[in-house]
Amino acid sequence: MSKSQTVSTTASDPTVAAAAAQFLSPVVLGLQALTINGKQAHWHVRGANFIGVHELFDTIVAHAGAFADTAAERIVALGLPIDARVSTVAEKSSSEVPAGFTQSSELIRNVIADIDAILVDTKAAVEGLDDIDLTSQDVAIEIKRGLEKDRWFLVAHIAE
């Protein structure tokens, strides 16, 4: 089988597409929620280290949006739709980011908890896609790497 036939077969294989969607859809929804809740944190952070945390939240939001786009586009490239409407994202989200002004250390802990929840889904995708679709697994691995780095930056702000 030629390389182009392999790519074509993988892209049209309904089993591969279904598996990728099964594992990557929760990641997309979690990342979309992080995008929204991270902006909420960004707008309402308070404290002596305001500027640094405010800007870090903006960076994390940008990363989450880019990661969500990458995972969603992988699903769509395999021929399936993804439902990431606000109502669907809201069903997935269990964020503890509060509605109003909050001290930076509390908001950081809230956003870390959101990232930890996404990492659970991302780790499941990495493991589950190992024998199914290595390209989709690569997407999950890259998202995991990026989330772990963002988490590290947040933890450094509250570490003693």
State the alpha helices, DSSP H only, in 45-84.
50-77
Phi-psi region of 121 (alpha: psi -120 to 50; beta: other; left: phi over 0): alpha
**pLDDT (average), residues 12-33:** 94
CA distance 44 to 63: 19
The pLDDT of residue 50: 95
Above 90 in pLDDT, residue 48? no
Provide the angle, in degrees to the nearest 10, between the axes of the packed helices 104-128 and 50-77: 20
pLDDT of 5 strictly over 80: no
Domains of the chain, first to last:
3-158 (1.20.1260.10)
pLDDT number for residue 160: 87
Reading the block at residue 110, the tokens are 């809230």
Mean pLDDT of the chain: 92
- pLDDT tens profile 49-98: 999 999 999 999 999 999 999 999 999 999 999 999 999 999 988 899 99
Query: What integer pLDDT is reported at residue 2 of this predicted model?
Result: 43
Higher pLDDT, 76 or 8: 76
Instruction: For residues 127-148, give the mean pLDDT.
Output: 97
Q: How many secondary structure helices (H) and strands (E) does the chain include?
A: 6, 2
pLDDT of residue 19: 93
Whether residue 16 is predicted with pLDDT greater than 90 in this model: the reply is: yes
Position 3 pLDDT exceeds 60: no
Asked which of 83-87, 89-93, 104-108, 119-123 is least confident by mean pLDDT, the reply is 89-93
* Cα separation of the two ends of the chain: 57
Nearest one of 133, 127, 21, 18 to 73, comparing CA atoms: 21
